[in-house]
């Protein structure tokens, strides 16, 4: 085995397996412009998500 | 899986200087990945910091932003199936003409637009990169550039060492440079697909078009292929 793949294999053998994501807010309401994967700034513009659907509020 | 045939062809035709550069990026990226995994459990564990992963939430919560280099990324999870646990979205702060957008101290980071999305990297539950993909404009917002202009942004993407995330930032910077040929191919395929639509503006907002191009990757096999190429050349 070559050196880089060997390093990667060793790292992966030690890696923590993260559990699958739990359900979150997928409302994509108009406040976010339906922009589901935007950078953080677009999500923070108005904060209307919390007020509008309550889905976010429940987990905060 | 096996090594990417596109990358193998690219490296076969590359100069010794280019192979050396690719090896440098590969070693930096592999080393940073290995250290991040040893220290935090995985790249994902580093970003989630013992929190539960919730669909669509950003990790770290405020994204990681290198203001000086105009680069930004975050991890999140919301797609079911195959190998992917979640993915890293990469952005670059560009003006409408694709130039660097400089942020002024004390001013809001963004006024009329958001950072421009470059592409995304799928990770498995151990934090191993397993795929690359591009998305439609409505998914992330920001400016829409053709493949050549987007690649110019990709080439300027770099994450300095942000405290607490030094290894993750080094991994990402090296990884993006290493996979440049495949990212370029992905963006060209994205453009070709959109060129088939008669109305681009409408297509960019079409909720039925989300992922525009994608490719699975086998990082370990790709590293073997790169090292084999350097051995073949006696480097």
The DSSP result for B85-142, as a single string, is: SEEEEEEE-B-TTSPBPPPPTTS-S-SS-PPEEEEEEEE-TTS-EEEEEEE-HHHH-S
Count H helices and E strands in chain B, helices first. Answer: 9, 6
Check residue B111 and give its pLDDT.
58
Q: Using DSSP bridges, classify how beta strands B71-76 and B86-92 pair: parallel, antiparallel or unpaired.
A: antiparallel
Q: Which residues of B touch A30 (CB under 8 A)?
A: none
Q: State residue B96's pLDDT score.
A: 86
Task: Mark yes or no for CB contact B114/A41 under 8 Å.
Answer: yes
The label of the residue with tokens 């990884």 reads: B175
Q: Which residues from A are below 8 Å from B when comparing CB atoms?
A: 1-5, 7-12, 14-26, 33-43, 59
pTM of the prediction? 0.90
- Starting from the edge strand earliest in sequence, which strands make up the sheet with B116-123, in order? B59-66, B71-76, B86-92, B116-123, B129-135, B211-216
* B147 contacts B187 by C-beta, under 8 angstroms: yes
Is A12 in Cβ contact with B126 (below 8 Å)?
yes
Tell me the pLDDT tens digit for each residue of B17-73.
Answer: 999 999 999 999 999 999 999 999 999 999 999 999 998 899 999 899 998 899 999
Instruction: Indicate the pLDDT class of residue B182, thresholds 50, 70 and 90.
Output: very high
Say yes or no for a CB contact (<8 Å) between B55 and A25.
Answer: yes
User: Mean pLDDT over residues B93-116, rounded?
Assistant: 76
> Which of A18, A23, A24 minimises the CB distance to B125?
A18
What pLDDT score does B47 carry? 98
The β-bridge relationship of strands B211-216 and B86-92 is unpaired
* pLDDT band (50, 70, 90) for residue B153: very high
Record: contact A2-B109, CB cut-off 8 A: no
Chain A residue closest in CA terms to B61: A40
Locate the chain A residue with the closest alpha carbon to B55. A24
Mean pLDDT, residues B148-164 taken together = 96
- Alpha carbons B214 and B186: distance in angstroms, whole number: 7
Question: What does the pLDDT read at residue A1?
Answer: 53
In sequence order, what are the beta bridge partners of B120?
Answer: B89, B133
Please, what is the angle between helix B16-40 and helix A3-14, to 10°? 20
Probe site for chain A from B39, B74, B141, B207 (most A CB atoms < 10 A): B141
CA distance B209 to B139: 9
pLDDT band, very low/low/confident/very high, at B113 (cuts 50, 70, 90):
low
Average pLDDT over all residues of chain B: 93
Would the CB atoms of A23 and B55 count as touching at under 8 Å?
A: yes
Extract the tokens encoding B105: 């101290």
Most A-contacting residue of B91, B126, B235 (CB-CB within 10 A), to test interface: B126
pLDDT per position as a tens digit, A6-46: 999 999 999 999 998 887 665 554 445 456 788 876 444 44
Question: Torsions phi, psi of B101, nearest 5?
Answer: -100, 115
Residue listed under structure tokens 């990770």: B123
pLDDT for res B1: 79
Looking at residue B121, its pLDDT comes to 98
Binned at pLDDT 50, 70 and 90, residue B82 comes out as confident
Q: What percent of chain B has pLDDT over 70?
A: 94
pLDDT reading at B174 higher than 50: yes
pLDDT (0 to 100) of residue A22: 86
Nearest-Cα distance to chain A for B198, in Å, is 23
| Chain A residues near residue B230 by CB distance under 8 angstroms | none
Contact B92, B76 (CB under 8 A): no
Q: Do the beta carbons of residue B214 and residue B131 sit within 8 Å?
A: yes
Residues 6+ positions from B233 with CB-CB distance below 8 Å: B16, B19
Please check whether residue A18 is in contact with residue B52, taking contact to mean a CB–CB distance below 8 angstroms: no
Residue A52 has pLDDT above 50, yes or no: no
Chain B residue with CA closest to A18: the answer is B125
Average pLDDT over residues B131-155: 95
Q: B17 CB contacts (<8 Å, ≥6 apart)?
A: none
Q: How far apart are CA B170 and CA B30, in angstroms?
A: 9
């Amino acid at each position: 085995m070559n050196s880089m793949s060997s390093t990667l294999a060793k790292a992966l053998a030690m890696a923590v397996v993260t559990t699958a994501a739990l359900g979150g807010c997928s409302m994509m309401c108009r406040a976010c412009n339906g922009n589901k994967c935007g950078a953080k700034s677009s999500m923070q513009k108005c904060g209307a998500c919390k007020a509008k659907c309550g889905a976010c509020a429940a987990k905060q | 899986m096996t090594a990417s045939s596109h990358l193998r062809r690219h490296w076969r035709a590359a100069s010794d200087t280019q192979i050396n550069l690719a090896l440098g990026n590969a070693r930096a990226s592999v080393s940073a990945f290995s250290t991040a995994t040893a220290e935090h459990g995985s790249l994902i564990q580093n970003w989630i910091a013992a929190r539960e992963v919730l669909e669509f939430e950003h990790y770290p919560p405020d994204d990681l932003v290198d203001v000086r280099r105009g680069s930004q990324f975050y991890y999140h999870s919301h797609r079911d199936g195959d190998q992917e646990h979640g993915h890293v979205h990469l952005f670059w702060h560009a003006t409408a003409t694709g130039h660097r957008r400089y942020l002024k101290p004390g001013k809001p980071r963004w006024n009329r637009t958001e950072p421009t999305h470059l592409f995304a990297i799928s990770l498995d539950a151990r934090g191993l990169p397993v795929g690359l993909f591009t998305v439609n404009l409505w998914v992330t917002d920001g400016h829409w550039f053709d493949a050549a202009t987007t690649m110019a942004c990709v080439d300027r993407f770099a994450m300095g060492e942000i405290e607490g995330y030094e290894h993750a930032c080094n991994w990402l910077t090296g990884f993006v440079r290493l996979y440049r040929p495949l990212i370029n191919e992905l963006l060209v395929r994205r453009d070709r697909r959109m060129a088939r639509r008669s109305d681009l503006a409408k297509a960019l907002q079409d909720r039925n078009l989300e992922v525009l191009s994608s490719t699975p990757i086998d990082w370990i096999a790709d590293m073997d292929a790169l090292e084999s190429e350097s051995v073949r050349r006696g480097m």
